[in-house]
């Protein structure tokens, strides 16, 4: 038995001099050097005690070494658990503990803050920064060779934590087959090849930047202009050297806000992909008017990778996410009965295919609630299929806010607010935001003299990553409820819009 993901994504590049990454300082990383670096990380991880099947939690910056660490984990049969660098030590403590990670790799600057977290979770703490860190040093000293650990299609390659509408975050278990099948499908659907240069400004701790962006390019053998994050000037400067870009809608609205972004600048581009959040039809049209390019919108999830995509050839229809990808079966089902609905009706989107994950780590009940015995995953997104087969996402059955492509689960914020002195209860809703699409606003019902908002902001900052922080706190006499006692979030969203 080989190693499914390693054999497809990394092994073919061994020793090759072609460029994998164009780096911000003007240097290039060759494919062969990247594969060699991965082997050094595999050795370093092994020397720290990691063994096949172990989890390696990683909260570090977006660096070439971060990708090599993922590749090293794959080579050594380890499960990669990437984490947002913006997460607080509280949040990290939960993920590392839940995943029962053998190793936590963090930024050298966070070593002190995360020492106790790692110890508490029984994980070994290693550090990785730009040209520094304990595992950086260990890899430098290691030989660029490591046995390729046998892993089959069903073996797990990564856990991606995704929050839930109730309770804590869940580790979505992704197998070698899940990741490889989707990367193969996308290379073909979007026509990626070795001549492509992907402008990569997405984070690499999520499906979009890691599996859709990076794995697709590794499979196609093309290069990436690897930017540490979204920087409008850097993106515009690099655009003439790229052939394709993938982004969340915020990327596109920000690009459109700059007059330098025009037809000439994008003349060498063949593809712009948008996903992770709804792209307004208005943005789609403005983009075409400005550049002559029609953005290709697609729809995916942490649990499923990519499900649906507008066509490469053929009409890319604004406001829709296109057709189910080859190998993906999609049904619109009744949210209550689970029965398939007739074409044209709105229901919950359910998907099945090699792309669909293996369940939530150590959460069989949650898995059973969302993943049916027949393999269909209940996405929680509401959609409809039109007469031509295009899928439109019309809303969400789940209580979720998407801000700049990051998911925010109101429940997680409400649970913290409800515990604060002076707050009887709370409700968090998403309101339209011109930059991020949606932003969270918290409604608070006071008790015992009312809350101290400064103290609340401090507690929220201590416990939650910045992007989850409510933009506003509004006091309200009582939360609007329906006859079943359920908080009516739609009414709160309307109320928030009036402030």
Touching ligand AMP, residues 416-475 (CB under 6 A): none
Q: H-helix or E-strand containing 269?
A: none
Q: Which partner in ligand AMP, ligand MLC, none is near 396 (CB below 5 to 8 A by kind)?
A: ligand AMP
Residue 422, Ramachandran bin (φ over 0: left; ψ between -120 and 50: alpha; else beta): left
Nearer residue to ligand AMP within complex by CB, 128 or 321: 321
* Residue 402 near ligand AMP by CB under 6 A: yes
Residue number, nearest CB to ligand AMP:
302
Task: Say how many CA atoms lie within 13 Å of 345 toward its Cβ.
Answer: 12
Q: Which partner in ligand MLC, ligand AMP, none is near 196 (CB below 5 to 8 A by kind)?
A: none
Nearer residue to ligand AMP within complex by CB, 202 or 321: 321
**204 and 59 in contact (C-beta within 8 Å)?**
no
Name residues whose C-beta falls within 8 Å of residue 336's C-beta, 6 or more positions apart in sequence.
none
> How would you class 39 by CB atoms within 10 Å of its CB: exposed for 0-12, middle for 13-18, buried for 19 or more?
buried
Angle between helices 31-47 and 134-141 (to 10 degrees): 110
Angle ∠(35,38,41) on CA atoms, nearest 5: 160
* Residue 317 near ligand AMP by CB under 6 A: no
- 29-37, 224-232, 296-304, 481-489 -> range binding ligand AMP (CB under 6 A): 296-304
Nearer residue to ligand AMP within complex by CB, 396 or 489: 396
Nearer residue to ligand MLC within complex by CB, 77 or 404: 404
Touching ligand AMP, residues 37-76 (CB under 6 A): none
Q: Which partner in ligand MLC, ligand AMP, none is near 403 (CB below 5 to 8 A by kind)?
A: ligand MLC
Q: Closest approach of Cβ 339 to ligand MLC, in Å?
A: 27
Q: Which partner in ligand MLC, ligand AMP, none is near 440 (CB below 5 to 8 A by kind)?
A: none
**325 and 310 in contact (C-beta within 8 Å)?**
no
Residues within the interface to ligand MLC (CB under 6 A): 202-203, 206-209, 229-230, 248, 250, 275-276, 300-302, 403-406, 436, 466-467
Provide the 3-class DSSP secondary structure of residue 389.
coil
Nearer residue to ligand AMP within complex by CB, 64 or 164: 164
Binding-residue pattern over the window 154 to 173 for ligand AMP, x denoting contact by CB under 6 A: --------x-----------
Q: Closest approach of Cβ 434 to ligand AMP, in Å?
A: 17
Locate tokens 């649906």: which residue? 308
Q: Closest approach of Cβ 271 to ligand MLC, in Å?
A: 16
- 46-54, 147-155, 231-239, 272-280 -> range binding ligand AMP (CB under 6 A): 272-280
In degrees and rounded to multiples of 5, residue 266 shows phi and psi of -100, 10
* Residue 321 near ligand AMP by CB under 6 A: yes
Nearer residue to ligand AMP within complex by CB, 437 or 470: 437
Residue 203 CB neighbours (<10 A): 21
Nearer residue to ligand MLC within complex by CB, 248 or 391: 248
Question: In 61-141, where do the E strands start and end?
Answer: 79-82, 103-106, 124-127
**89 and 114 in contact (C-beta within 8 Å)?**
yes
Residue 24 to residues 27, 89, 238, 260: CA-CA distances in angstroms?
Answer: 7, 29, 10, 20
Q: Which two tokens stand for residue 62?
A: 């977006």
Residue 191, Ramachandran bin (φ over 0: left; ψ between -120 and 50: alpha; else beta): left
* Residue 276 near ligand AMP by CB under 6 A: yes
Binding-residue pattern over the window 380 to 399 for ligand AMP, x denoting contact by CB under 6 A: -x-----------x--x---
Q: Closest approach of Cβ 333 to ligand AMP, in Å?
A: 15
- d(CA 65, CA 76) in angstroms, rounded, equals 16
Q: Closest approach of Cβ 203 to ligand MLC, in Å?
A: 5
Nearer residue to ligand MLC within complex by CB, 84 or 488: 84
Question: In 155-232, where do the E strands start and end?
Answer: 156-162, 170-175, 197-200, 223-226
Q: What is the dihedral of CA 240, 241, 247, 250, to 10 degrees?
A: -40
Q: Closest approach of Cβ 338 to ligand AMP, in Å?
A: 18
- Name which position in 129, 221, 300, 383 contacts ligand AMP (CB under 6 A): 300
**269 and 255 in contact (C-beta within 8 Å)?**
no
Applying CB under 6 A, what is the total number of residues that bind ligand AMP? Answer: 18
Interface residues with ligand AMP (CB under 6 A) are: 162, 207, 275-278, 297, 299-302, 321, 379, 381, 393, 396, 402, 407
């Amino acid at each position: 038995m080989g190693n499914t993901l390693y054999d497809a994504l990394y092994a073919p590049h061994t020793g090759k001099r072609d460029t994998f990454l164009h780096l911000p300082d003007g240097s290039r990383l060759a494919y062969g050097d990247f594969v060699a670096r991965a082997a050094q990380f595999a050795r370093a991880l092994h020397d720290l005690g990691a063994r096949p099947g172990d989890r390696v939690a990683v909260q570090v910056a977006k660096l070439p070494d971060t990708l090599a660490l993922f590749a090293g984990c794959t080579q050594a049969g380890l499960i990669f658990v990437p984490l947002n660098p913006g997460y607080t030590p509280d949040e990290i403590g939960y993920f590392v503990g839940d995943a029962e990670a053998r190793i936590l790799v963090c930024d050298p600057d966070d070593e002190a803050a995360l020492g106790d977290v790692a110890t508490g979770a029984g994980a070994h703490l290693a550090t990785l920064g730009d040209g520094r860190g304990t595992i950086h040093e260990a890899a430098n000293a290691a030989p660029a060779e490591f046995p390729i650990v046998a892993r089959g299609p069903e073996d797990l390659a990564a856990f991606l934590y995704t929050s839930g509408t109730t309770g804590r975050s869940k580790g979505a278990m992704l197998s070698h087959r899940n990741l490889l099948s989707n990367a193969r499908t996308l290379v073909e659907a979007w026509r990626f090849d070795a001549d492509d240069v992907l402008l990569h400004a997405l984070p690499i701790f999520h499906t979009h930047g890691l599996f859709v962006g990076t794995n697709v390019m590794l499979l196609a053998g093309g290069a990436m202009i690897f930017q540490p994050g979204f920087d409008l000037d850097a993106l515009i400067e690099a655009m003439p050297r790229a052939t394709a870009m993938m982004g969340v809608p915020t990327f596109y609205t920000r690009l459109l806000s700059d007059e330098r972004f025009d037809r000439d600048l994008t003349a060498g581009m063949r593809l712009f992909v948008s996903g992770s959040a709804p792209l307004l039809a208005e943005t789609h049209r403005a983009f075409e008017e400005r550049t002559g390019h029609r953005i290709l919108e697609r729809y995916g999830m942490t649990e499923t990778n990519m499900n649906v995509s507008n066509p490469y050839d053929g009409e890319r229809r604004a406001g829709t996410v296109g057709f189910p990808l080859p190998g993906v079966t999609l049904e619109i089902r009744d949210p209550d009965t689970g029965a398939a609905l007739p074409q044209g009706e709105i229901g919950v989107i359910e998907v099945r295919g090699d792309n669909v994950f293996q369940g939530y780590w150590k959460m069989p009940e949650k898995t059973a609630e969302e993943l049916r015995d027949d393999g269909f995953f209940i996405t929680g997104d509401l959609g409809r299929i039109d007469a031509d087969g295009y899928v439109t996402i019309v809303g969400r059955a789940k209580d979720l806010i998407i801000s700049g492509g990051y998911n925010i689960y109101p429940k997680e914020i409400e649970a913290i607010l409800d515990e604060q002195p002076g707050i009887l209860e709370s409700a968090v809703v998403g309101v339209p935001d011109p930059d991020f699409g949606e932003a969270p606003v918290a409604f608070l019902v006071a008790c015992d003299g009312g809350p101290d908002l400064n103290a609340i902001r401090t507690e929220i900052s201590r416990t939650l990553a910045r992007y989850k922080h409510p933009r506003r706190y509004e006091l309200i006499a009582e939360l609007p409820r329906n006859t079943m006692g359920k908080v009516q979030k739609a009414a709160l969203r309307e109320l928030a819009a009036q402030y």
